[in-house]
Amino acid sequence: MAFSGYWAMQFYGMYKNSSQLSFGERIYNQGLDSSGSPLQGRTEGDIDFKDANFNCAQCHRRSGYGSSEGGNYVLPITGASLFNPRSFDRADLFKKLFKESQSKLFWARMRSAYQRPAYTEESLAKAIRKGIDPSGRTLNPLMPRYQISDRDMSGLIAYLKNLSSQNDPGIDNQSIYFATVVGKGVDADSKNAMLSTITKFVEWLNLETKGNQDHPNFSPNYRSDFAKAFRLWQHDIWELSENPADWPKELQAYYDKKPVFALIGGMAPGDWTPIHRFCEQNHLPCLFPITELPAQEQSGHYSIYFNAGLALEAQAIAKYLSKEIKGDTTDSIVQIYRDEEAQGQIPANIFNAAMSAESPLKSEKISYKKIEDFRQAWSEYKQNHSHIRSLVIWPDKLGTEVLTELALQPEAIERIFLPSGMLQKDLSTFSKDFIAKLIFAYPYELPTAYHPHAFRVRAWMNTRRLPITNDRIQFNSYYALNLLQYSLEHVVDHFSRDYLLEYIEHEAENALNPGTFPRLSLGPEQRFASKGAYLVQLGSNRSIIPISDWIVP
């Protein structure tokens, strides 16, 4: 009985700790107490609130390492930061002191001799409720004073004690580990363009890192402070089978064998959702995969994309048409897509939802499995519709064959809207009159635009004898790698995945854009760096001619 009682107490203790951490996590990230009610308290001295948006992560971020915005520096509240005496590390403050525009008050505060003692559970509870730190100083009025029960306070403090208390998996004293997911069936040339760029970048960066490791005191006022941050990059390729249902267990097997700190790039046919879900479940950053179908789930935190792919293109076409129609219900819109294909069904559904929100006009659909099915369905549709103003096609591998069928009777169609991927197809067999009917979504920068950084990227590739076979894929891969490197420099030795993502959000808009997109930027919890698209047509010599402004749905 004594033995059973001992284990019962152990189990109860583990359950209690787990329950406390769960309460604390919900308070910290969601702003909900143990009863599910929003947090309440007072801020700025006299503003009362009861609002879940006043959660800790809004300012201190999910990592707990704080933030800097508008001259306001939010201090770290990780376990190591709170429960040790305060000490300012020059490497940690380097970016905020020298790379951001800060107020004089901030500069003075960071250089002051004031150091507070370590928090205890009691003094931390007092700071959260009353705004008084362990030395008796009053905290900034921006810091809310929370009305929080003893039970919830215990949970929050337990969570803070564990917050970013150790490095995340995928890191050791010498190396940081990354992988790139490649699915079977992707275009071989595109895959090679991406992987060759990653390989050259890792080789180049490791040469530089090795030099820094070998000469840590070469510049004692700079490099010696950052020596603890230097890691060699180790990069693997995770190859997936052709069956998406098997991807989760294949990814987990790779991860169990050798955990990585983040996935960089990536390419797989069809819907990226299985890979997205794996990354979310494992709290694994997935940085800028090359995919037409990013996951549409709203709860994603760890996956960052260049744009929303076909979903964005569908919304841009819908917005263009809805503005043009302006309530004219006599217009006709027909969507054509292949049944049971994600490249057709997903954008078609998103297009319908976007049109329903913007216009009273609903689109009809023609779906098919084989090209023979399409021929019959198209023939039957034309018998009752002699003229169609707008066709929207979501083609997959049969896209050119579908256009060939439509080109047999071009007079029946006024214009045809297509995704940007069709610009890569051979359209030389079609007449100029038929090509003039084609309108493409184009979520990229126009070829005539000027981006200075593009010359630097091209020069980098040329000096490393990296053939530029697909400049869009290679430039995008370089951007993702460069942004990852730049962000890791500022993470220093706090290897938290959440902290890395927070720096990526902050730095994405820096002067790194190689010109593939007009602008790349991320705000807190934004996961698509480019938000819009043009509508374009083909001119002479396949030149791109915009027929719309940059459309942000």
> Which structure tokens are listed for 178?
């990354």
Is 551 part of any domain?
Answer: no
d(CA 74, CA 58): 10
In tens, the pLDDT along 64-118 reads 998 876 667 788 999 999 999 877 776 676 666 656 666 676 666 666 656 789 9
The H or E element that residue 262 is part of is strand 262-264
Q: How many domains does the chain have?
A: 3
Based on the domain organization, do 51 and 142 belong to the same domain? yes
In tens, the pLDDT along 474-519 reads 999 999 999 999 999 888 889 999 999 999 998 898 878 999 999 9
d(CA 523, CA 195): 28
Query: Which pLDDT score, from 0 to 100, does residue 15 have?
Result: 39
Based on the domain organization, do 364 and 473 belong to the same domain? no
Based on the domain organization, do 400 and 539 belong to the same domain? yes
User: Span 21-46, mean pLDDT?
Assistant: 91
d(CA 251, CA 280): 13
> Which structure tokens are listed for 378?
């198209």
Based on the domain organization, do 232 and 181 belong to the same domain? yes
In tens, the pLDDT along 110-143 reads 666 567 899 999 999 999 999 999 999 999 888 9
Query: What are the C-alpha distances in Å from 40 to residues 50, 59, 149, 157, 526?
Result: 4, 16, 11, 17, 26
311 pLDDT higher than 70: yes
Query: Which pLDDT score, from 0 to 100, does residue 99 have?
Result: 60
434 pLDDT higher than 90: yes
Q: 113 or 445: whose pLDDT is higher?
A: 445
Within 10 angstroms of residue 399's Cβ, the number of other Cβ atoms is: 19
Least confident range of 180-184, 263-267, 511-515, 537-541? 511-515
d(CA 282, CA 451): 37
Q: Tell me what percent of the residues of the chain surpass a pLDDT of 70.
A: 88
Contact 507, 487 (CB under 8 A): yes
Q: In the block, which residue shows the tokens 């208390």?
A: 165
SS3 letters for 432-451?
A: HHHHCCEEEEECCCCCCCCC
Based on the domain organization, do 346 and 419 belong to the same domain? yes
Is 286 part of any domain?
Answer: yes
Is 10 part of any domain?
Answer: no
Based on the domain organization, do 264 and 120 belong to the same domain? no
Is 530 part of any domain?
Answer: no
Based on the domain organization, do 382 and 480 belong to the same domain? no
Contact 133, 123 (CB under 8 A): yes
Based on the domain organization, do 258 and 332 belong to the same domain? no
Is 403 part of any domain?
Answer: yes
CA 362, chain centre distance (Å): 32
Is 121 part of any domain?
Answer: yes
- Residue 258, domain extent: 175-309+449-522
Report DSSP state, residue 351.
H
Return the closest-CA partner of residue 332 out of 404, 416, 398, 456.
Answer: 416
DSSP 483-529: HHHHHHHHHTT---HHHHHHHHHHHTTSTT--SSSS-----TT--BS
Quote the mean pLDDT of the chain. Answer: 88
User: Span 39-66, mean pLDDT?
Assistant: 92
Based on the domain organization, do 208 and 65 belong to the same domain? no
Is 506 part of any domain?
Answer: yes
Q: How confident is the model at residue 229 (pLDDT cuts 50, 70, 90)?
A: confident
Based on the domain organization, do 302 and 315 belong to the same domain? no
Based on the domain organization, do 463 and 413 belong to the same domain? no
Based on the domain organization, do 332 and 420 belong to the same domain? yes
